[in-house]
């Protein structure tokens, strides 16, 4: 037996199998081998009358070791083999669950005969988020235990289910409060023995076909067809759960084994696994001293109760952190607080919050017109209008009123964080916290590290982001940071394509065919053509626009005409409610602009050209961001695009996607467009890093940590 990760001890006549594989007790090969050895030892020891399986550290088993899915073959022993062996033991086996029993962890528990858990524990089969299905018997045992409908729902959603609910569903047999779980499990085992209860094997149960709602599987398949996804798992999950109803356990298990193997070998599953690790990597900041003294954030201040300020405040209130929100005048304050309340009330109508919880949250949110009220805040985030002079004044004021050691942050999307940091008078305490709209919903937070931001400030904010449920990515200072800087090249090409003769619908359809929720024209109409145009004006002010008179002229023209998008009923489209309709007026505008700027119209723009022209420059910009050290890793850029811009997770983000296309191909197409479109303004000039990677036959994924 592997002594270090799995041990078998005896507590009287009860065998105690303990898994100890930090950080999350993943079932890597040594754990599987250790489990197998422990089971064989139990088989050989007739004095053991019952077995408890538990885990050391912060959690029960969090699943298979996701790293192993990238190996050509999963090293033996296999999950089915061990779990079947465990279930076949002729003495009661009890799983004792704390923390989370996820994926293979829950499947291990399902192979045990009884399950006891702490009330704080959660269970789930989240494999679908990795583009695979539960591949250790879960698709066969769970329906046998809780019924096909509940199991299908749980596996397709991949949710974590709280212990109380799991008990109700029949996944757990007992839940205990805050006590010594191992002691409770041993007591439970002895009770079973005294009641003469023996093994209870889930694989021997059958699903009563009468308990399966008519059309359950057909409806699930129809729903998938209606909302197709690139994820290879859901369709196969339905097949497996159906097999749990109609086939023997052995037949169902064989199907599960085959289908999980098919899933794991897909590019989409590889992309989803990349996302899993990329999000965790992104929170790691390289090169920092280990003994940083982090700051404690117990109270937060927000300046400006507009669209962003209100949403930002909600994030903190939602996790019990009190917020002071400052406005310039009472009416604006009341309006802002009213919007927050309305958002919470919508959650009540959707059953996500109770009326009492709304009051508790609103009580944590205190409005004020006096900056002096921010004096006891540990972090203050300014979210006033995007105006440099105004923001500088606000930051100077914050530098005066905030207590020593408080962190000051700006939510600016375009302004120079270093300039604002200097205005505050304490640049070491200053950074950017770039939330995305709606700020209470969007998961991404770009944490912008200024030239003088203290490492402890940066780490404090990255950790805080995780506390409020955000995915933090650190960006250096540049116009647009990581996400919006890359977006610029995408929007630039979309506009040139409009001038050359593509319609908004044609461009959007091409981009959406890749799995993005909306193309650039619909996105700008939703975000506001005015907002989009102002970004161009800001770039002009900052002196960073190319000297190209045809640069993003469409958005500027639509702005001039008051076509602000959905909110004014017309933008790149005209609107019937929220429904975008093609507008011949836009074609006329583009035709005129093309004529003014001497741009040739043509009718041969293909879907592939749209994809290449919008997305390959975006990838090229990503490479520049890496070579400048604005982002630490290619995978950080992927995290930004998946969580902030709807890039399909099953493509892994733009940099992972580029690797899968081949960087030589990307480079060749950039060169091609440089030739056919001309390259007067450097739009198609390859990033030096891209050329280097192509020459060395390497990928973005091969790069280490980049620091500018």
Pick one of 52, 117, 161, 383: the residue that binds ligand NAI (CB under 6 A). 383
**CB under 5 to 8 A by kind: which of ligand NAI, ligand CAA, none does 412 bind?**
ligand NAI
**CB under 5 to 8 A by kind: which of ligand CAA, ligand NAI, none does 23 bind?**
ligand CAA
Question: Per CB under 6 A, does 147 bind ligand CAA?
Answer: no
DSSP helix/strand/coil, 394: helix
In whole angstroms, how close is the CB of 273 to ligand CAA at the nearest point? 9
Q: What are phi and psi of 11, to 5 degrees?
A: -115, 95
**CB under 5 to 8 A by kind: which of ligand CAA, ligand NAI, none does 540 bind?**
none
The mark string for 392-431 relative to ligand NAI (x by CB under 6 A, - otherwise) is --x----------------xxx------------------
Instruction: Read off the tokens for 432.
Output: 């950017």
- Count the neighbouring beta carbons within 10 Å of the beta carbon of residue 13: 14
Distance from C-alpha of 161 to C-alpha of 340, rounded to nearest angstrom:
28
Distance from C-alpha of 554 to C-alpha of 572, rounded to nearest angstrom:
9
Question: Per CB under 6 A, does 308 bind ligand NAI?
Answer: yes
Q: Which residues contact 483 (CB under 8 A, 6 or more apart)?
A: 436, 444, 446, 640, 641, 644, 645
Active site residues: 107, 127
Question: Per CB under 6 A, does 102 bind ligand CAA?
Answer: yes
**CB under 5 to 8 A by kind: which of ligand CAA, ligand NAI, none does 62 bind?**
ligand CAA
Question: Per CB under 6 A, does 315 bind ligand NAI?
Answer: no
Q: Binding residues for ligand NAI, how many (CB under 6 A)? A: 24
Instruction: Read off the tokens for 126.
Output: 């989240």
Pick one of 34, 158, 309, 450: the residue that binds ligand NAI (CB under 6 A). 309
Question: Per CB under 6 A, does 467 bind ligand CAA?
Answer: no
**CB under 5 to 8 A by kind: which of ligand CAA, ligand NAI, none does 384 bind?**
ligand NAI
Instruction: Read off the tokens for 83.
Output: 């779990």
In whole angstroms, how close is the CB of 69 to ligand CAA at the nearest point? 7
Pick one of 60, 79, 83, 435: the residue that binds ligand CAA (CB under 6 A). 79
**CB under 5 to 8 A by kind: which of ligand NAI, ligand CAA, none does 306 bind?**
ligand NAI
571 CB burial (10 A radius; 0-12, 13-18, 19+): buried
- Torsion angle of C-alpha atoms 660, 664, 670, 676, degrees rounded to 10: -120
Pick one of 306, 322, 455, 515: the residue that binds ligand NAI (CB under 6 A). 306
Judge whether 375 and 403 are in contact, CB under 8 Å.
yes
Nearer to ligand CAA, 65 or 446 (CB): 65
Judge whether 53 and 91 are in contact, CB under 8 Å.
no
In whole angstroms, how close is the CB of 134 to ligand CAA at the nearest point? 4
Question: Per CB under 6 A, does 446 bind ligand CAA?
Answer: no
State which of positions 21-50 bind ligand CAA (CB under 6 A): 23-24, 26
Closest to 394 in 3D by CA, of 409, 379, 414, 416: 409
Question: Per CB under 6 A, does 104 bind ligand CAA?
Answer: yes
Nearer to ligand NAI, 205 or 332 (CB): 332
Question: Per CB under 6 A, does 374 bind ligand CAA?
Answer: no
Nearer to ligand NAI, 306 or 425 (CB): 306
In whole angstroms, how close is the CB of 59 to ligand CAA at the nearest point? 6
51 CB burial (10 A radius; 0-12, 13-18, 19+): buried
In whole angstroms, how close is the CB of 150 to ligand NAI at the nearest point? 39
CA angle, 670 then 676 then 678, to 5°: 85
Distance from C-alpha of 204 to C-alpha of 551, rounded to nearest angstrom:
68
Pick one of 10, 12, 45, 67: the residue that binds ligand CAA (CB under 6 A). 67
Judge whether 577 and 569 are in contact, CB under 8 Å.
no
Q: What are phi and psi of 479, to 5 degrees?
A: -65, 120
**CB under 5 to 8 A by kind: which of ligand NAI, ligand CAA, none does 65 bind?**
ligand CAA
- Please report how many Cα atoms fall inside a 13 Å half-sphere around the Cα of residue 543, on the Cβ side: 1
CB under 8 A, 24+ apart: contacts of 183-188: 184/96, 184/116, 185/52, 185/54, 185/94, 185/96, 185/116, 186/11, 186/14, 186/16, 186/52, 188/94, 188/114, 188/116
**CB under 5 to 8 A by kind: which of ligand NAI, ligand CAA, none does 383 bind?**
ligand NAI
Tell me the Ramachandran region of residue 353: left when phi exceeds 0, alpha when psi lies from -120 to 50, beta otherwise: beta
Distance from C-alpha of 413 to C-alpha of 411, rounded to nearest angstrom:
6
Pick one of 259, 384, 417, 625: the residue that binds ligand NAI (CB under 6 A). 384
Nearer to ligand CAA, 123 or 423 (CB): 123
In whole angstroms, how close is the CB of 634 to ligand CAA at the nearest point? 17
Question: Per CB under 6 A, does 103 bind ligand CAA?
Answer: yes
Q: Are strands 444-448 and 430-435 parallel, antiparallel or unpaired?
A: antiparallel
**DSSP per-residue string spanning 545-587:** S-S-TTTTHHHHHHHHTT--BGGGTBSSSEEETTEEE--HHHH
The mark string for 496-535 relative to ligand NAI (x by CB under 6 A, - otherwise) is ----------------------------------------
Using the contact rule CB under 6 A, the part of the chain among 38-46, 60-68, 527-535, 568-576 near ligand CAA is: 60-68
Pick one of 222, 328, 363, 544: the residue that binds ligand NAI (CB under 6 A). 328
Judge whether 43 and 93 are in contact, CB under 8 Å.
no
DSSP helix/strand/coil, 303: strand
Residue nearest to ligand CAA (CB): 103
Question: Per CB under 6 A, does 501 bind ligand CAA?
Answer: no
Question: Per CB under 6 A, does 304 bind ligand NAI?
Answer: yes
Residues near ligand NAI (CB under 6 A):
303-309, 326-328, 332, 336, 383-386, 390, 394, 411-413, 435-437
Residues near ligand CAA (CB under 6 A):
23-24, 26, 59, 62-67, 79, 100, 102-104, 107, 126-127, 130, 134-136, 138, 277, 280
């Amino acid at each position: 037996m592997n002594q270090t990760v799995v041990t078998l001890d005896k507590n009287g006549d009860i065998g105690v199998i303990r898994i100890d594989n930090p950080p999350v007790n993943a079932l890597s090969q040594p754990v599987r081998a250790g489990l197998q050895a422990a089971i064989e030892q139990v088989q050989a020891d007739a004095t053991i009358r019952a077995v408890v399986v538990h885990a050391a550290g912060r959690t029960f088993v969090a699943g298979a070791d996701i790293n192993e899915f990238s190996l050509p073959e999963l090293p033996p022993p296999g999950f089915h083999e061990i779990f079947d062996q465990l279930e076949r033991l002729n003495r009661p086996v009890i799983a004792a669950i704390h923390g989370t029993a996820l994926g293979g962890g829950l499947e291990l528990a399902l192979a045990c005969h009884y399950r006891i858990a702490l009330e704080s524990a959660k269970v789930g089969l989240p494999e679908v988020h990795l583009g695979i299905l539960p591949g250790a018997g879960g698709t066969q045992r769970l329906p046998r235990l809780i019924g096909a409908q509940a199991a299908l729902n749980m596996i397709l959603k991949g949710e974590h289910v709280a212990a109380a609910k799991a008990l109700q569903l029949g996944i757990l047999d007992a839940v205990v409060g805050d006590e010594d779980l191992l002691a409770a499990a041993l007591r439970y085992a002895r009770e079973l023995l005294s009641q003469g209860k023996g093994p209870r094997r889930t694989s021997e149960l059958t699903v009563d076909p009468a308990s399966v709602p008519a059309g359950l599987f057909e409806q699930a398949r129809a729903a998938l067809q209606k909302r197709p996804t690139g994820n290879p798992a859901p369709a196969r999950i339905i097949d497996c759960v159906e097999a749990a109803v109609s086939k023997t356990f052995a037949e169902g298990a064989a199907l599960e084994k085959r289908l999980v193997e098919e899933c794991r070998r897909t590019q989409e599953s590889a992309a989803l696994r990349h996302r899993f690790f990329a999000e965790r990597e992104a929170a790691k900041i390289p090169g920092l001293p280990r003994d940083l003294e982090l700051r404690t954030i117990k109270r937060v201040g927000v300046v400006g109760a507009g669209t962003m300020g209100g949403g930002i405040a909600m994030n903190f209130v939602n996790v019990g952190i009190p917020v002071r929100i400052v406005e310039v005048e009472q009416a604006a304050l009341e309006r802002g607080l009213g919007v927050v309340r309305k958002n919470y009330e919508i959650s009540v109508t959707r059953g996500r919050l109770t009326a009492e919880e709304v009051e508790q949250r609103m009580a944590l949110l205190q409005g004020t017109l006096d900056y002096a009220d921010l004096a006891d805040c540990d972090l203050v985030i300014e979210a006033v209008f995007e105006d440099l002079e105004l923001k500088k004044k606000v930051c100077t004021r914050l530098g005066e009123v905030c207590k020593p050691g408080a962190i000051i942050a700006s939510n600016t999307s375009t302004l120079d964080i270093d300039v604002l940091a200097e205005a505050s008078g304490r640049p070491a305490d200053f950074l950017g916290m770039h939330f995305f709209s709606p700020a209470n919903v969007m998961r991404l937070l770009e944490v912008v590290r200024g030239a003088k931001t203290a490492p402890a400030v940066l780490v404090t904010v990255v950790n805080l982001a995780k506390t409020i449920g955000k995915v933090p990515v650190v960006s250096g200072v540049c116009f647009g940071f990581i996400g919006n800087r890359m977006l610029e090249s995408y929007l630039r090409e979309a506009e040139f394509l409009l001038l050359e003769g593509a319609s908004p619908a044609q461009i959007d359809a091409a981009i959406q065919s890749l799995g993005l929720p909306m193309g650039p024209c619909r996105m700008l109409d939703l975000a506001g053509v005015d907002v989009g145009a102002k970004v161009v004006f800001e770039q002009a002010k900052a002196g960073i626009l190319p000297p190209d008179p045809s640069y993003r002229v469409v958005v500027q023209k639509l702005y001039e005409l008051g076509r602000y998008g959905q909110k004014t009923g017309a933008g790149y489209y005209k609107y019937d409610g929220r429904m975008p309709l093609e507008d011949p007026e836009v074609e006329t505008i583009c035709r005129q602009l093309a004529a003014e700027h001497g741009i040739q119209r043509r009718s041969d723009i293909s879907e592939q050209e749209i994809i290449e022209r919008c997305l390959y420059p975006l990838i090229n910009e990503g490479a520049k961001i890496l070579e400048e050290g604005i982002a630490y890793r290619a995978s950080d850029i992927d995290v930004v695009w998946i969580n902030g811009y709807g890039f399909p997770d099953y493509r892994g983000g733009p940099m992972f996607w580029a690797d899968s296309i081949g960087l030589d191909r990307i480079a060749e197409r950039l060169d091609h467009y440089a030739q056919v479109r001309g390259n007067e303004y450097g739009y198609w000039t390859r990033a030096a890093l891209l050329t280097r990677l192509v020459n060395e036959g390497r990928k973005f994924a091969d790069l280490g940590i980049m620091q500018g």
